[in-house]
Chain A
Amino acid sequence: MGRYFIRRLWQTIPTLAGVILLVFILFNLFGGDPAAILAGKIVSPERIATIREQLGLNEPLWVQLWIFVKQVMTFDFGDSWSTGESVADIISQKAPVSLTIMVQVWLLDAIVSISLAVAVAYRRGSLTDRAVMGICTAAMSISLLLYVVIGQYVLGYTLDLFPVLGWSDSLWTNLTTYAPLPVFLLLLVSIAPSLRLYRTFIVEETTHDYVRTARAKGASENRVMFVHVLRNALIPIMTNMAMQLPGLFVGSFVIESVFSIPGLGKEIVAAVLRSDFPVIKAITIYLAILTMLVNLLVDLLYSWLDPRVQLK
């Protein structure tokens, strides 16, 4: 087990190196010049040169790459170029905001879609099943932006059921006042695919022979469904849920922009538009590491949920 961990961590190094390289190439060679933005109203070449010098952009590329690698190793990405704020602070301020929304979406999505999936999988092939699946497909096909535009306008503005937008410093206010509408809209888009996927997992399990055995043992249909089928289907379901974890930190930038929620998703887009390389680098690396950790977690989860899987 311990050796397994070490091996897995060891394996993440090439991936991390790849991420570093990809981000570096994409943004250093093709991204915009942050100096031009920082230069203010009058963008003179000298001023750009001065700023580039100050930002270290005039160093040879390999030196910059090496600095990047060092930053990754020390987890210190310095300060944002556009705001001068420490990148660590930016992330530690923005990520919890995205999480406030996304964790709710994640949990509610799981609860709702698993229960619905069990219900429709049990009636699979029936009219209800087909109808629910059809609705899911329809719901999935519609763009998030349409939900958001219409949802904000109708639910927030016309019907005044929710505040139209906003965010406060108090977690409680956020949870009770500002989060519900974004969470609701996100749920509208996220439940459908989860439900479909989970239904597939459950239906897939019901075709296995052990289900027949359970029936042959005299177990009631409820018991077959919940004790036998669901327990097995939980393996891919939980895996799928774990895979969503890195996404929770990123948040949904559409939602965040439209509802003025100061989360990480909005931050990423803003950083790219401002060519704020330190922020981009840090967020990418943090998320890449998070993704890798989650993959590890998924393996652990797998071995915990599924006795057949052994970590070696």
Chain B
Amino acid sequence: TIQGARAADSGKTLYTYFEAPESGFDPARNSDHYSGEVFSSIFEPLLTYDYLARPQTLVPNTADLPEISPDGMTFTYRIRPGIYFSSDPAFGGQRRELTAADYVYTFQRLVDPANRGAPWDFMFKGKVIGLDEKIAAAANGEFDYDSPVEGLQALDRYTLQIRLKRPDYNIPYITAAPATGVVAREVIERYGDDIDAHPVGTGPFRLKTWERRNHIVLEANPEYRGTTYSPVERDGVEFDHEVAQRLQGKTFPRLDTIDIRIIETAQASWLAFQSSQIDLHPRLGANYALLVAPNNELAEKYVKLGWHYFREAEADITYYQFFMDDPVVGGYTPDKVALRRAISLAFNQAKMISVVRNNQALAAQSPLAPQINGYDPEFRNVLGLYDPAKAKAMLDIFGYVDCDGDGWRDLPDCKPLRITYLSSSSQGGSRDTEEMLIKGLADIGIRLDTDVMNFSDFLKARQAGKFQFSGGAWGQDYPDAENFMQLLYGPNSGVVNDSRFRNAEFDRLYEQIASEPPSDARNERLREMSRIVNAYVPWIVEANRIRTHLAHPWVVGFKPHPDNMPHYLYLDIDWSQMPADLHARRESE
């Protein structure tokens, strides 16, 4: 039923921005974050996260929470009847109801290499029974969507069943990822290569106009069923009660239009927010964040303006990685470990965070990120404390001394010790990092060169193992430690494990945690894995970013979510809070 999807008085427009351009709105083909922000409001996955619950908690979306077989290998979803796609010529004027078969189709699209190499295929590849065979068959022909897959079936119109080769308790998370949002086959087939511009989903919004990499306008989807918010009740889950209060009793979406501009310079978006050209400023530039809330408290003058201010750690991590097969910086013998450890001791994490990140980050202690299962805020990297004296001592002991008297340390065999840091020219702000690394290493007598290449060559070089030392970052695909630890899993070397770290104990533990549901024992195994990483230093963990988000007083219901998605669904505008002149200006536009 189309009940009050437009409950709100029409004309409510939220102005916001993206700091980087989107690429397109086909979930199967686009894996960049900002495309995701848009299609997360258009397409609906089976499950979703509760908007306000922390830690992230799954709640039903188009389907109820799945039935999970005791062996953790079979997942059965019941899709709610009466959910419709927004109207589109592809449906020939008919209302089109969502069915289980749509998800079967959608998930298969995610692994079809024809979709630009299928950037999301890791979510199902190697897991679902019968799917890998189908992918292999598609290698020399078209992907066959029609033949049945044993592990991915619509049991009836509303029942979807997923069967796995091995237990994986992350499947519910995966089925909550925006990329698994459901698409309709008619639409995909109708628009062909133009599908990026024609997202047709069941979600609260639909695409109104799109000027690529400049301006995206979403409007409320009139076919949307409408939703209300009631907090999930589960143990250990907390809420922002204040926001919950404001959402109480309303039917969403309340907004008529969402107007998104691409504003790539931090200064520009900050200025735009100040002049109320945008209502919402997620992810404030670090400098501005500091300005707005110098001591983690909104500055007085902004409090007076009534700004809403949020500061939260994100579920991501930045790190530096060594190429473990490299003859100089790689290797597992004590002398090799010592070199990497010395470098990690020369890295002043605290200073990095205070100067480069303006304190807008947590000092990372393990390869894990906050806000996810298995993250332990108490865990400390006891081996990674900044200590140049100790670093020098270590280098001395293992023979990395200055042989030729040029002031720089050499390898134990007196060959010159030169390390090259690989970075890309399109990485914003990498200069600071490089300056810091070069200085830090110079302090302990190691010369660091930098090699800057364009972004694509950088990605390729890193992937192909043509580097010694490089930066890296990872954000969650789903809120579980496994999603992070996979980056260091030996058998993943060269695919997701760019540093090619191989450690038998680590790998054994990984295999274990990958197939078990969360538990205290599992958490201890994760800590052990972190200790191994901190001891062998394939990575120097750097930071978990803290983001500051701002909203003007007339934006109601905003709360940043750890999944990094905008959740426009729950936002509203309170005209009464808006200055009259601004309101008038908005009305006239």
Q: Do chains A and B touch in the complex (CB under 8 A)?
A: yes
Residues of A within 8 A of B (CB): 31-45, 47-48, 50-51, 54, 79, 82-85, 90, 93, 152, 156-157, 160, 163-167, 169, 257-260, 262, 267, 270, 273-275
Indicate if B460 sits at the interface (CB-CB under 8 A).
Answer: yes
Choose one: B24, B29, B264, B459; the contact of A260 (CB below 8 Å).
Answer: B264
Indicate if B31 sits at the interface (CB-CB under 8 A).
Answer: yes
> Contact between B263 and A165 (Cβ–Cβ < 8 Å)?
yes
Contact with A along B442-465 (1 / 0, CB 8 A): 000000000001111101101110
Indicate if B385 sits at the interface (CB-CB under 8 A).
Answer: no
Indicate if B299 sits at the interface (CB-CB under 8 A).
Answer: no
Rounded to whole angstroms, the CA-CA distance of A93 and B209 in the bound complex is: 14
Nearest neighbor of B22 in chain A, beta-carbon distance: A83
Indicate if B91 sits at the interface (CB-CB under 8 A).
Answer: no
Q: A43-B463, A54-B116 are in contact. Are A84 and B24 (CB under 8 A)?
A: yes
Enumerate chain B residues within 8 angstroms of A164, measured Cβ to Cβ.
Answer: 268, 271-272, 274-275, 277
> Contact between A45 and B464 (Cβ–Cβ < 8 Å)?
yes
Q: How far is the CB of A141 from chain B (nearest CB, A)?
A: 25
Indicate if B260 sits at the interface (CB-CB under 8 A).
Answer: no
Q: Which of A37, A163, A258 has the most CB of B within 10 A?
A: A37
> Contact between B117 and A156 (Cβ–Cβ < 8 Å)?
no
Nearest neighbor of B498 in chain A, beta-carbon distance: A43
Rounded to whole angstroms, the CA-CA distance of A38 and B459 in the bound complex is: 10
Rounded to whole angstroms, the CA-CA distance of A113 and B58 in the bound complex is: 66
> Contact between B261 and A84 (Cβ–Cβ < 8 Å)?
no
Nearest neighbor of A79 in chain B, beta-carbon distance: B193
Q: Which of B23, B120, B211, B212 has the most CB of A within 10 A?
A: B212
Choose one: A42, A84, A259, A273; the contact of B193 (CB below 8 Å).
Answer: A84
9 tightest A-B CB contacts, nearest first: A40-B119, A32-B456, A40-B31, A262-B214, A164-B271, A36-B456, A32-B454, A47-B117, A36-B459
> Contact between B268 and A83 (Cβ–Cβ < 8 Å)?
no
Enumerate chain A residues within 8 angstroms of B21, measured Cβ to Cβ.
Answer: 270
Contact with A along B495-507 (1 / 0, CB 8 A): 1100000000000
Q: How far is the CB of B519 from chain A (nearest CB, A)?
A: 28
Indicate if B296 sits at the interface (CB-CB under 8 A).
Answer: no
> Contact between A37 and B455 (Cβ–Cβ < 8 Å)?
yes
> Contact between B275 and A39 (Cβ–Cβ < 8 Å)?
no
Rounded to whole angstroms, the CA-CA distance of A157 and B261 in the bound complex is: 19
Choose one: B114, B261, B460; the contact of A43 (CB below 8 Å).
Answer: B460
Indicate if B295 sits at the interface (CB-CB under 8 A).
Answer: no
Choose one: B31, B32, B116, B212; the contact of A85 (CB below 8 Å).
Answer: B212
Q: How far is the CB of B207 from chain A (nearest CB, A)?
A: 14
> Contact between B117 and A83 (Cβ–Cβ < 8 Å)?
no
B393-446 contacts to A, CB under 8 A, are: 425-426
Enumerate chain B residues within 8 angstroms of A47, measured Cβ to Cβ.
Answer: 113, 117-119
> Contact between A166 and B463 (Cβ–Cβ < 8 Å)?
no
Q: A31-B454, A260-B261 are in contact. Are A169 and B268 (CB under 8 A)?
A: no
Q: How far is the CB of A89 from chain B (nearest CB, A)?
A: 8
Choose one: B211, B274, B463; the contact of A36 (CB below 8 Å).
Answer: B463
> Contact between B212 and A90 (Cβ–Cβ < 8 Å)?
yes
Rounded to whole angstroms, the CA-CA distance of A44 and B118 in the bound complex is: 11
Enumerate chain B residues within 8 angstroms of A40, measured Cβ to Cβ.
Answer: 31-32, 117, 119-120
Q: A39-B117, A262-B211 are in contact. Are A273 and B455 (CB under 8 A)?
A: yes
Rounded to whole angstroms, the CA-CA distance of A258 and B196 in the bound complex is: 28
Q: How far is the CB of B357 from chain A (nearest CB, A)?
A: 22
Indicate if B94 sits at the interface (CB-CB under 8 A).
Answer: no
> Contact between B265 and A257 (Cβ–Cβ < 8 Å)?
yes
Enumerate chain B residues within 8 angstroms of A37, measured Cβ to Cβ.
Answer: 455-456, 459
Indicate if B122 sits at the interface (CB-CB under 8 A).
Answer: yes
Q: How far is the CB of A222 from chain B (nearest CB, A)?
A: 48
Choose one: A36, A82, A262; the contact of B215 (CB below 8 Å).
Answer: A262
Q: A43-B463, A164-B272 are in contact. Are A34 and B456 (CB under 8 A)?
A: yes
Indicate if B466 sits at the interface (CB-CB under 8 A).
Answer: no
Rounded to whole angstroms, the CA-CA distance of A38 and B26 in the bound complex is: 14
Q: How far is the CB of A259 from chain B (nearest CB, A)?
A: 7
B510-535 contacts to A, CB under 8 A, are: none
Q: How far is the CB of A206 from chain B (nearest CB, A)?
A: 47
> Contact between A260 and B119 (Cβ–Cβ < 8 Å)?
no
Enumerate chain A residues within 8 angstroms of B455, measured Cβ to Cβ.
Answer: 32, 36-37, 273-274
Enumerate chain A residues within 8 angstroms of B262, measured Cβ to Cβ.
Answer: 260, 262
Enumerate chain A residues within 8 angstroms of B29, measured Cβ to Cβ.
Answer: 84
Enumerate chain A residues within 8 angstroms of B116, measured Cβ to Cβ.
Answer: 38, 51, 54
Nearest neighbor of A81 in chain B, beta-carbon distance: B116
Indicate if B213 sits at the interface (CB-CB under 8 A).
Answer: yes
Rounded to whole angstroms, the CA-CA distance of A32 and B456 in the bound complex is: 5
> Contact between A33 and B456 (Cβ–Cβ < 8 Å)?
yes
Rounded to whole angstroms, the CA-CA distance of A276 and B265 in the bound complex is: 22
Q: A33-B457, A50-B113 are in contact. Are A83 and B196 (CB under 8 A)?
A: yes
Enumerate chain A residues within 8 angstroms of B274, measured Cβ to Cβ.
Answer: 157, 164
Rounded to whole angstroms, the CA-CA distance of A37 and B277 in the bound complex is: 32
Rounded to whole angstroms, the CA-CA distance of A307 and B261 in the bound complex is: 52
* 11 A-B pairs with C-beta separation under 8 A: A39-B117, A40-B31, A41-B31, A44-B495, A47-B118, A50-B113, A51-B116, A160-B275, A164-B274, A169-B211, A273-B425
Q: A36-B459, A83-B212 are in contact. Are A273 and B265 (CB under 8 A)?
A: no
Rounded to whole angstroms, the CA-CA distance of A152 and B453 in the bound complex is: 31
Enumerate chain B residues within 8 angstroms of A160, measured Cβ to Cβ.
Answer: 275
Q: How far is the CB of A26 from chain B (nearest CB, A)?
A: 12
Q: How far is the CB of B27 from chain A (nearest CB, A)?
A: 12
Q: Which of B425, B462, B463 has the most CB of A within 10 A?
A: B463
B168-227 contacts to A, CB under 8 A, are: 193-194, 196-197, 211-215
Nearest neighbor of B17 in chain A, beta-carbon distance: A260
Choose one: B23, B122, B272; the contact of A42 (CB below 8 Å).
Answer: B122
Rounded to whole angstroms, the CA-CA distance of A31 and B120 in the bound complex is: 26
